[in-house]
Structure 1
């Protein structure tokens, strides 16, 4: 694994906008093709294998949480538990997820967290960096089958009879990144042959008489892809009404168990000393020195504290009320002059689907951390 300088393509902004990636310059520089990361084929094979293994471990961990009634450990609200159990027992299909790894090319990758419910950077990984590769390094390859696997997974979910009628896709208003991401997901679903309808989350209605969710025209919504976190959803009237109506949700309710950072100490308890896990616990008593304090429920690196000689805290977004987990501090590798990458490894269905790299000058990755394309030598 190496970090290399690269010459940006002429008109790269226009080329990204043509594929629907309009937020490429958030905070001045979000998409960054002035550099790239290179890998060997052996490193890519290893990342693919590790991603698949961790996915299987997470499925086993979700089953253990339900079987052993560990909902309190993850601060899952009482009213959401039956929703999760019913979703699990019906084997509701999962579409995707993203593991975040610390990896330096020398030692085994370590799992930092699992974005299992509403992971983003899809268009960056699935489309933008692929077109970059075709234009800049056409003789190389990329660990990236995300786009094709999303289409195929939609086909599988539809073929199993899970989606009946149109598939609604939603995000909140006035969020350009979410809107572009949902439109990209809508495109993959359409390419799979599904009838799709976009609706803003705020425009979804509840029909009390018919006991169902409806769009602005009063049409029933039987299947919904939502770029809106389950932990927010179950605290609202909308979420509580889900128990009254069997709208089919993607991601399913059981993914609440995996998007919660409480999954990290559960994994460590079930698979102690696994080479791709960091020690993690529900309290800090097991650590004498440095560790990372993470809210059970937080997003985009918010409210994370690295406890060391000089503590480092990320932006305060109000998370942490439900509790925290404590994970061994394993510094991100540094490439060049103060660049700290995190590898986001995608799972689609049950298959590894590629990687995207986020880089920052801080040890804590945030929503504005740069996205860097990659390649490997076939």
Structure 2
């Protein structure tokens, strides 16, 4: 792993990137300075062996996360049939008896977190009796599709071991630049002649590819997931419409373009699609279901939503007015409830920092798997108190918000935000990002290892500048990468 500081600079690269979907490249800082999110010129280069190591670590970490999810589910009283008999609003979970309650998830969401976690497992497929007071499992299966996710890893090349910093399991962005922009960059610059060129099969794994040389075709994540969903929900048409929702209050356009890219891959895979705003998701009281309302106040034009991808955090959704209704709609698949991609468990079990101490609890004594982890504990515990150098992270936080780095008892950088106002934090043993020389000073890369349908799929790199760059924030740069470049 090396940083090449002076790579090729393409003529008209900003316009090229814009035409490919990177419409959110330029950012104005508070002092009026404009910065470019995409860095044209510098790039990171890896050996094939390093890429193989990263890919293997990504696969192992995902398997570990699935085991951690199983553990978390079993810490909720509702994971048993008896627990589900208590009913939708019954108070059977509290922080002393339920892990989900301990990390601040409202009880009305627990049942659906558990149900969507087990959906698709042939031994634990669940359906629900028509009696709303019982909701007992039936033999008919259901399925809750999951398409993508991204691990943020510490890595410093050959001789080091990739370490998990966090799992962006539900709403990872930087997808356009990882899947599309850097792929065109490596194609246009020709800086490497290695057959792999780049660790990047994101697009192909989403859309699928045809058979070659007698090998079976890969149908891609969209077709594979929708096919499984249709086996469970037989009333769905062969090509069900998939809605894609984004939050319009995010004004840079990043959320919109990431959602639009995912939508384009679903369309390429053969499905009808529609891009909508989160504010256009409504509730049909008479039909007791989720609908798309194209115009405010025109519920008469509402369309039922069978399947929707939303780039919106579940932890926001379940705190908002109306959240209970959406979860109740999910509760009974026989009523044709809406299927959400990514499902609730992606945020509740995998996409928050509480995952980190659970992984350490389960695998800290396993030398073959703990090597990919950093010791992590809930703030306030004895394990946390024993750490003198650590990263303190809010359980429900994003883009480096409210992350504090402490070295030998002294704070070296922090980033105060509204995240962590609930007092829920974890501490993770400090592992400072690697340092490389950049044109403006020392830079620190974090490696984003992408998963498509649970399989390692590619790499995107974010880079921060100086001490402040030890915590990766929304203003950190994106750099492309290569495999065994000649330069």
Q: C-alpha offsets along residues 246-304 of structure 1, whole Å, 9 cap, x if unaligned?
A: 21000011112101110000000011151010000013532341111100001111010
Q: Which residue of 1 aligns with 2:141?
A: none
Q: Give the match's secondary structure for 1:108.
A: coil
Distance 1:350 1:288, change over 3 A: closer
1:29-48 aligned within 5 A: 29-48=36-55
1:125-274 aligned within 5 A: 125-136=178-189, 137=191, 139-140=193-194, 141-151=197-207, 152-162=220-230, 164=236, 165-175=240-250, 176-216=253-293, 217-245=301-329, 246-255=337-346, 256-273=348-365, 274=370
Q: Which residue of 2 aligns with 1:74?
A: 103
Larger radius of gyration: 2
1:99 aligns with 2:186: no
Counterpart pick for 1:316 among 387, 393, 417:
417
Q: Give the match's secondary structure for 1:244.
A: helix
Task: Provide the TM-score with structure 1 as the length reference.
Answer: 0.96
1:291 aligns with 2:390: yes
Q: Which residue of 2 aligns with 1:358?
A: 462
1:49 aligns with 2:105: no
Q: Give the match's secondary structure for 1:339.
A: strand
How far 1:237 moved relative to its partner? 2.9
Q: Give the match's secondary structure for 2:303.
A: coil
Q: Does the 8 Å contact 2:192/2:484 carry over to 1?
A: no
How far 1:174 moved relative to its partner? 4.1
The CA RMSD over aligned residues, in Å, is 1.5
How far 1:41 moved relative to its partner? 0.2
Q: Does the 8 Å contact 1:343/1:358 carry over to 2?
A: yes
Once the two structures are overlaid, the 10-residue window that deviates more, 304-313 or 212-221, is 304-313
Task: Provide the TM-score with structure 2 as the length reference.
Answer: 0.75
1:2 aligns with 2:2: yes
Q: Which residue of 1 aligns with 2:124?
A: none
Once the two structures are overlaid, the 10-residue window that deviates more, 78-87 or 323-332, is 78-87
Q: Give the match's secondary structure for 2:267.
A: helix
Q: Which residue of 1 aligns with 2:134?
A: none
Structure 2 CA distance for aligned equivalents of residues 318 and 299 of structure 1:
8
User: Highest relative contact order (Cα 8 Å, sep 6+), 1 or 2?
Assistant: 1
How far 1:138 moved relative to its partner? 5.3
1:308-347 aligned within 5 A: 308=407, 309-336=410-437, 337-347=441-451
Q: C-alpha offsets along residues 18-41 of structure 1, whole Å, 9 cap, x if unaligned?
A: 112111223411011220000000
Counterpart pick for 1:275 among 362, 366, 371:
371
1:373 aligns with 2:374: no
Q: C-alpha offsets along residues 99-158 of structure 1, whole Å, 9 cap, x if unaligned?
A: 000111131011100000100000000000000000112524100001111221001112
Distance 1:367 1:324, change over 3 A: same
Q: Give the match's secondary structure for 2:304.
A: coil
1:85 aligns with 2:114: yes
How far 1:17 moved relative to its partner? 1.2
Q: Which residue of 1 aligns with 2:212?
A: none
* Residue-pair matches, total: 378
How far 1:307 moved relative to its partner? 2.0
Structure 2 CA distance for aligned equivalents of residues 249 and 209 of structure 1:
21
**Where in structure 1 are there 5+ consecutive unaligned residues?**
none
Distance 1:260 1:318, change over 3 A: closer
Structure 2 CA distance for aligned equivalents of residues 147 and 315 of structure 1:
36
**Where in structure 2 are there 5+ consecutive unaligned residues?**
29-34, 77-98, 121-143, 208-219, 294-300, 330-336
Q: Give the match's secondary structure for 1:139.
A: coil
How far 1:75 moved relative to its partner? 2.4
Structure 2 CA distance for aligned equivalents of residues 23 and 243 of structure 1:
33
Distance 1:88 1:305, change over 3 A: same
Structure 2 CA distance for aligned equivalents of residues 365 and 88 of structure 1:
30
Q: Does the 8 Å contact 2:446/2:462 carry over to 1?
A: yes
Q: Does the 8 Å contact 1:73/1:262 carry over to 2?
A: no
Structure 2 CA distance for aligned equivalents of residues 288 and 139 of structure 1:
46
Q: Give the match's secondary structure for 1:76.
A: coil
